[in-house]
């Protein structure tokens, strides 16, 4: 059971939200982090963000044992409590020999005790998880909620910028929405309302799309079958591209409205995840992915709000004041998932079909089979492309044609497919 628990927690890292207790039982404790603002830095620092695979990266300067700096891209992830380094970077920075982690974020210095840092993100099969999510871009670290909670934080998707400020020194603009913060991990939870009753959700700019517990989604669909948009993850909802039932057996749902205190979110898409061990496994073990993941939230949660929602707002988190502030930048896009309905798995530098999206048990891409390797879309080779480029090739309006070239066990197959609305 011990090895199973550790393997599950590694799996959770793939899906953007990590539990670290399997390796370090108290890894994300707040008192392991020290922040220093030099006088010349003032009280506010703004950094550029880069979008890769639907996630935000920021530049960070790490300090080597000899005092020199090592620059790397870090994944901004509010669903993770403690920092994660690639195995190579962990050793280069001397943590394997007992050094603490010291980094510079803009002009601000942050130190984390070595016991609070995770050595490597883990692997799925023979693939490093950072490579699985980001290659060919090199990403070597996670900047987690456990560090971010020491600041007031603003994420501006329109300007592609991250602002960190000393608590109490930053203008708080937008609609205020109360939040709860787990002081050990820094994860932020707010209460949304869908249909009736509160729905606790983690706020996570580390996730390209909103994911929810499959059981909760099934209950909503029993009352509102018209919310169902398809079976299996497509587009940004296919955020991990790992060979998991969470994605290939998931359900795409679209809520007409999600209510936050003082704010209404329109046309909210989400993936209700499939049972990670199949129906029998879930009957025996429960929703083990979510039950394990939510321990860093510090309370029961139904899922996370991802960037399909958060991209529409300049979001400010006042951790100390337990408030978030939402300043709308654009309207929701109900066509965000419009595409050829395939769920993909990333294998090496290429992409394999893990599921074909369906409605009412009718496949939306007839002729494509699970296990086909997707070689080309409209004559464009996919091998070596990052996930967002492949999803862009598959993007299509309802009825818009796409020509798919597939490899089926060494035999070439060409399929004319059409886009669908999800």
Residue 406 predicted with pLDDT over 70? yes
pLDDT in tens, 317-364: 999 999 999 999 999 999 999 999 999 999 999 999 999 999 999 999
User: What is the pLDDT, as a whole number, of residue 126?
Assistant: 78
CATH 2.30.42.10 residue ranges in the chain?
342-418
Report the greatest alpha carbon distance in the chain.
65
Q: Pick from 131, 140, 337: which is nearest to 241 by CA?
A: 131
Q: Pick from 322, 45, 38, 310: which is nearest to 163 by CA?
A: 45
pLDDT in tens, 341-351: 999 999 999 99
Residue 228 predicted with pLDDT over 60? yes
Architecture of domain 172-328: Beta Barrel (2.40)
Q: Could you tell me the pLDDT band of residue 13, with boundaries at 50, 70 and 90?
A: very low
User: What is the pLDDT, as a whole number, of residue 24?
Assistant: 33
Residue 60 predicted with pLDDT over 60? yes
C-alpha Rg value of the chain to the nearest Å: 21
Between 369 and 195, the higher pLDDT residue: 369
Residue 248 predicted with pLDDT over 60? yes
When the pLDDT of each residue in the chain is averaged and rounded to a whole number, the result is 91
Q: Could you tell me the pLDDT band of residue 301, with boundaries at 50, 70 and 90?
A: very high
Residue 9 predicted with pLDDT over 60? no
What is the rounded CA–CA span in Å between residue 332 and residue 413?
A: 37
Q: Could you tell me the pLDDT band of residue 127, with boundaries at 50, 70 and 90?
A: confident
H or E segment at 264? strand 263-272
**What is the rounded average pLDDT of the residues 208-237?**
96
Residue 30 predicted with pLDDT over 60? yes
**What is the rounded average pLDDT of the residues 202-214?**
97
User: What is the pLDDT, as a whole number, of residue 284?
Assistant: 67
Residues 6+ apart with CB under 8 A from 112: 32, 33, 34, 82, 83, 100, 101, 103, 147
Tokens of 124: 């799925």
Q: Pick from 71, 89, 138, 141: which is nearest to 99 by CA?
A: 89
Q: Assess contact for 84 and 101: CB atoms under 8 A.
A: no
Q: What is the DSSP string of 272-304?
A: EPPPTTHHHHHHHH-SHHHHHHGGGTTS---EE
SS3 label, residue 279 = helix
Query: Which has the minimum average pLDDT: 29-38, 396-405, 412-421?
Result: 29-38
Q: Assess contact for 204 and 16: CB atoms under 8 A.
A: yes
User: What is the pLDDT, as a whole number, of residue 117?
Assistant: 97
Give the percent of the chain with pLDDT over 70: 92
Q: What ranges make up the beta strands (E) of 275-341?
A: 303-305, 313-318, 323-328
Between 15 and 260, the higher pLDDT residue: 260
User: What is the pLDDT, as a whole number, of residue 124?
Assistant: 79
342-418 CATH pick, 2.30.42.10, 3.30.70.520, 3.40.630.10, 3.40.50.300: 2.30.42.10
User: What is the pLDDT, as a whole number, of residue 4?
Assistant: 37
2-164 CATH pick, 2.40.70, 2.40.160, 1.10.10, 3.40.50: 2.40.70
CATH 2.40.70.10 residue ranges in the chain?
172-328
Residue 1 predicted with pLDDT over 60? no
Q: Count Cβ atoms below 10 Å from residue 417 Cβ, excluding itself.
A: 23
User: What is the pLDDT, as a whole number, of residue 280?
Assistant: 73
User: What is the pLDDT, as a whole number, of residue 8?
Assistant: 44
Residue 11 predicted with pLDDT over 50? no
**What is the rounded average pLDDT of the residues 125-153?**
93
What is the rounded CA–CA span in Å between residue 343 and residue 327?
A: 33
- pTM attached to this predicted model: 0.91
Residue 31 predicted with pLDDT over 90? no
- Region of 67 on the Ramachandran plot (φ > 0 left; ψ -120 to 50 alpha; else beta): left
């Amino acid at each position: 059971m011990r090895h199973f628990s550790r393997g599950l927690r590694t799996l959770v890292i793939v899906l953007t939200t990590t539990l670290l207790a399997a390796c370090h039982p108290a890894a994300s404790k707040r008192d392991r982090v020290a922040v220093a603002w030099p006088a010349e830095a003032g009280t506010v620092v703004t950094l550029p963000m880069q979008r890769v695979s639907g996630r935000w990266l920021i530049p960070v300067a790490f300090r080597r044992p000899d005092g020199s700096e090592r620059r790397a891209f870090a994944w901004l992830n509010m669903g993770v409590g403690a920092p994660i380094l690639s195995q190579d970077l962990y050793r280069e920075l001397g943590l394997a020999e007992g050094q603490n982690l010291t980094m510079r974020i803009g002009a601000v210095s942050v130190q984390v005790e070595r016991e609070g840092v995770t050595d490597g993100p883990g692997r799925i099969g023979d693939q490093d998880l950072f490579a699985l999510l980001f290659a060919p871009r090199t990403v070597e670290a996670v900047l987690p909620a456990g560090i971010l909670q020491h600041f007031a934080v603003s994420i501006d998707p329109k300007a592609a910028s991250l602002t960190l400020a000393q608590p109490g020194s930053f203008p708080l603009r937008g609609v205020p929405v109360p939040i709860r913060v787990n002081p050990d991990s820094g994860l932020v939870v707010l209460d949304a309302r869908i249909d009736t009753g509160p729905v606790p959700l983690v706020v996570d700019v580390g996730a390209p799309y909103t994911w929810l517990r499959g059981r909760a989604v099934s209950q909503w669909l029993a009352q509102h079958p018209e919310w169902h948009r398809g079976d299996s993850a497509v587009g940004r909802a296919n955020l991990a591209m790992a060979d998991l039932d969470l994605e290939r057996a998931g359900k795409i749902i679209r809520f007409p409205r999600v209510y936050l205190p003082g704010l209404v979110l329109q046309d909210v898409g989400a993936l209700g995840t499939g049972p990670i061990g199949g129906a029998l496994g879930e009957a025996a073990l429960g929703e083990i992915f979510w039950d394990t993941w939510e321990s860093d939230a510090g309370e029961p949660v139904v899922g996370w709000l991802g960037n399909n929602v958060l991209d529409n707002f300049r979001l400010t988190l006042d951790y100390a004041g337990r408030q978030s502030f939402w300043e709308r930048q654009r309207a929701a896009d109900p066509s965000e998932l419009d595409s050829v309905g395939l769920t993909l798995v990333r294998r090496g530098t290429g992409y394999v079909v893990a599921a074909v999206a369906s409605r009412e048990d009718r496949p939306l891409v007839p002729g494509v089979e699970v296990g086909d390797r997707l070689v080309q879309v409209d004559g464009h080779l996919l091998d070596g492309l990052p996930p967002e480029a492949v999803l862009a090739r598959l993007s299509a309006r309802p009825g818009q044609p796409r020509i798919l070239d597939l490899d089926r066990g060494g035999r070439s197959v060409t399929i004319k497919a059409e886009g669908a609305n999800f």
